[in-house]
Amino acid sequence: MLNRTLPPEFKTIESIEVLQANSSKLNNGIPVYSVNSGSQEITKIELIFKAGMFYQDQALVASATNNLLEAGTKTYTANQLSDQIDYYGSFFECSVGQDYASIALFSLNRYLSESLHFVEDILKNPIFPQEELDIYLSNKKQKYLVNSQKVNVLARRRFSELLFGEKHPYGIDVKTEDFDKVSRETILAFYKKYYHSGNCTIVVSGSLPPNIQDILNTHFGQEAWGQAGKVEKAMPPLTPTTQRQTIVKKDDAIQSAIRIGRILFNKTHPDYFKFQVLNTILGGYFGSRLMANIREDKGYTYGIGSGLASLVNSGYFYISAEVGAYVTKDALKEIYKEIALLREELVSEEELETVRNYILGQFLRSVDGPFALADKFKAIWEFGLGYDYFDAYFHAVKTITPEEIKALANKYLQEKDLIECVAGNPS
C-alpha cells in the first residue's frame, strides 16, 4: 500500500553548470559576447549602450531617444522599417533601464541578415522626425495619466523620490508637464553622445549561425560609427527624505499600495548574497513569511513580496503590496512584526533548508535556455563581475547560518532606517 504521507526522496542541487558566453571583438573593437545553445534555429542580437535614465539631464529623454530610433532613418520611413522587420517575422525590441539602454532583434536564423540590415540603419542613421516625436510624447502622456490612477504606480514613483531624492537621476519622477518639454534637439544630442560604437556592447544568443561573427562585422564592425566620446557620469550625492512615513492620497482607492524599504547596496557588496537569502525568507518566494502571514493567514492581500534591486551605482531593498484599504494599518503592523522576528529570533534549520533549495532551484531555472543564459551573463557583466560570481553565490547560499541571518537583519533592517510610503485612502 502506497504511503502518501511520506515525501519521496529527493536530491539537493550540489553544483550548477552555467554555460559561459564566448568573448570576442568586432574589427572596430566592439566587444561581442555570444551564448551558443538551444535547438531552435533562432537568434537574439542585443546592442547595449550606457544610455539609461541615469545619463539624462531631463526626464523622458533617455526613453524617447531609444524608442524613436525606429521612427525613421535617412533611407526609410517608420512605416517602411516596421513593414520590413515584420515581414521577416522578426521582433524588434527597445528597452531602457536606469543604467543601460538597448535594442534587440529576435529573428529566425534564415532571415537574420535581411532583418539586421534594417537594425543597422535604425541604429546608425535615425532622423527623429518632429512629427513622430510629437505623436510619441502625446501617446506616452496619455499612458502616464492612466497609470497615475493606479495606487501601485503612485507608491512606486514617490518611493523612488523618497529614497534617492527628487532631483537625483535614480529618484527623479516624471511629471505631467515634462511631456511638453522634450525637444528634438535634446533627443539628437543624447543620441549623438551615447549611441556610438565606442559605447556599444553586443550580446548574441540562440542556436547561432556559424558565420555570426561575419554577419555582425558586416553590419556593426567595419569601422567606428557615431561620434566617439567618453561616456562617464559621476554619481551625484543622495538626498533622501528625512521623514519616515509618507502618504500619497487617492480618495477613491479601495486598496492601498505599500512600499517599505531603504537604500542598500548592489551585487558587488560582500553582504549581497547573504542578504538575498534573508530577503527570500522575508518576502522573496511564495512560502515567504510575508506571504504566509499577510496573504495566507490574514487574507489582507492578493500578493506581497520583497526584493533587492541592484543599480550600477547603488541598490535598494523594498517590500511591496496592495492591501485592502480598511486593513492598511493592520498589514503594516504585521510587516514590521515579521521584520522584528528576523532581528530577534533565529530562523529554523528546516526553513533555511527550504529556502536554500528553493533559491538553488530558481537558479537552475534561470540558466535554462540561450536567452536566459544571455540574461544571466548581462546580470554580471553590467556590474563588471565574472562567472566566479555565481560560484560565490552558490557557496554563500549553501553555507549561510541562522546566526548570520539574524545578524544581517539587525544590521540592515532596523525599523528606524526603513522608509514607508502608502498610496491610497488608508483608514
Partner 1 sequence: MIHFDKFKLNNNLTVIVHQDKSTPMACVNILYDVGARDEDENRTGFAHLFEHLMFGGSINIPNYDEPLQMVGGENNAFTTNDITNYYCTVPAENLETAFWLESDRMLSLAFTDKSLEVQRSVVIEEFKQRYLNQPYGDVWLLLRPLAYKVHPYKWATIGKEIKHIEDATMDDVKAFFRKHYNPSNAIMVVAGNVEPERVKELAEKWFGPIPAGVKPERRLPEEPKQTEARTLTVERDVPVNSIYRAYHMCSRYDDAYHAVDILSDILSRGNSSRLYKSLIKDSQLFSDVHAYVMGDFDKGLFVISGKVNEGVSIEDAEKGIDEEIRKIQHEPIPADELQKCKNKVESTVTFSETDVLTKATNLAISELLGDADLINQEIEKYRVVTAEQVQEQARLVLDRNNCSTLYYLAKKS
| 22-51: contacts with partner 1 (CB under 8 A) | 37-42
Q: Which 134-163 positions form the footprint of partner 1 (CB under 8 A)? A: 135, 138-139, 142-143, 145-146, 148-151
Cell 516625436 belongs to residue: 133
Query: Restricting to residues 235-264, which ones interact with partner 1 according to CB under 8 A?
Result: 252-255
Q: Directed axis angle between helix 130-147 and helix 184-194, to 10°?
A: 90
For position 326 contacting partner 1 by CB under 8 A, the verdict is no
Convert residues 395-424 into a mask of x (bound to partner 1 by CB under 8 A) and - (unbound).
------------------------------
183 binds partner 1 (CB under 8 A): no
3-class secondary structure per residue, 89-103: CCEEEEEECCCCEEE
- In whole angstroms, how close is the CB of 64 to partner 1 at the nearest point? 15
Q: How far is CA 199 from CA 29, 166, 233, 320, 333, in A?
A: 10, 28, 13, 35, 48
Contact 272/265 with Cβ under 8 angstroms? yes
The dihedral built from the CA positions of residue 415, 418, 419 and 424, taken in this order, carries a sign that is: negative
Q: Which stretch binds partner 1 (CB under 8 A): 208-216, 226-234, 353-361, 399-407?
A: 353-361
Instruction: Note whether 426 and 256 are within 8 A (CB).
Output: yes
Q: Does 301 bind partner 1 (CB under 8 A)?
A: yes
Q: Which is nearer to partner 1, 108 or 224 (CB)?
A: 108
Cβ nearer to partner 1, comparing 145 with 228: 145
20 scored as a contact of partner 1 (CB under 8 A):
no
305 near partner 1, rule: CB under 8 A: no
Which lies closer to partner 1 via its Cβ, residue 268 or residue 362?
A: 362
Nearest distance in Å: CB 159, partner 1 = 18
Member of 117, 193, 298, 343 binding partner 1 (CB under 8 A): 298
Using alpha carbons only, what angle is made at residue 178 by residues 177 and 182, rounded to the nearest 5 degrees? 130
Write out the H or E segment, with its range, that includes residue 257. Answer: strand 255-263
Is 286 one of the binding residues for partner 1 (CB under 8 A)?
yes
| Least separation in angstroms between CB 355 and partner 1 | 8
Question: Residue 280: phi, psi to the nearest 5?
Answer: -60, -45
In the set 5, 15, 177, 232, which binds partner 1 (CB under 8 A)?
5
Residue 129 in contact with partner 1, rule: CB under 8 A: no
Residues numbered 62 to 91 that lie near partner 1 (CB under 8 A) are 70, 78-79, 82-83, 85-91
The CA-based dihedral angle spanning residues 305, 53, 225, 86, taken in that order and rounded to the nearest 10 degrees: 60
- Considering only CA atoms, which of 244, 271, 273, 242 is closest in space to residue 259? 244
Please, what is the Cα angle at 376 between 372 and 379, to 5 degrees?
140
Nearer to partner 1, 86 or 391 (CB): 86
The number of beta carbons lying within 10 Å of the beta carbon of residue 313 is: 14
Q: Closer CB to partner 1, residue 233 or residue 365?
A: 365
297 touches partner 1 (CB under 8 A): yes
238: left (phi over 0), alpha (psi -120 to 50) or beta: beta
Q: Are residues 202 and 32 in contact, defined by beta-carbon separation less than 8 angstroms?
A: yes
CB 164 within 8 A of CB 240: yes
Question: What is the nearest approach in angstroms of partner 1 to the Cβ of residue 36?
Answer: 13
- Return the H-helix or E-strand segment holding 147: helix 130-147
Residues 357-376 that bind partner 1 (CB under 8 A): 357-358, 360-362, 364-365, 368-371
Nearer to partner 1, 35 or 163 (CB): 35
Segment near partner 1 (CB under 8 A), from 48-56, 119-127, 161-169, 296-304? 296-304
Of residues 108 and 188, the one with the C-beta less far from partner 1: 108
Angle, vertex CA 42, rays to CA 39 and CA 47, nearest 5: 130
- Please give the residues from 108 up to 127 whose contact with partner 1 meets the rule CB under 8 A: 108
Whose Cβ is closer to partner 1: residue 371's or residue 377's? Answer: 371
**From 345, 349, 353, 403, residue interacting with partner 1 (rule: CB under 8 A):** 353
- Residue 81 CB, shortest distance to partner 1, in Å, is 8
Contact pick of 7, 210, 237, 384 for partner 1 (by CB under 8 A) = 7
**Which residues, in sequence order, are bridge partners of residue 102?**
48, 95
Does 300 help bind partner 1 (rule: CB under 8 A)?
yes
Q: What is the dihedral of CA 408, 410, 412, 396, to 10 degrees?
A: 0
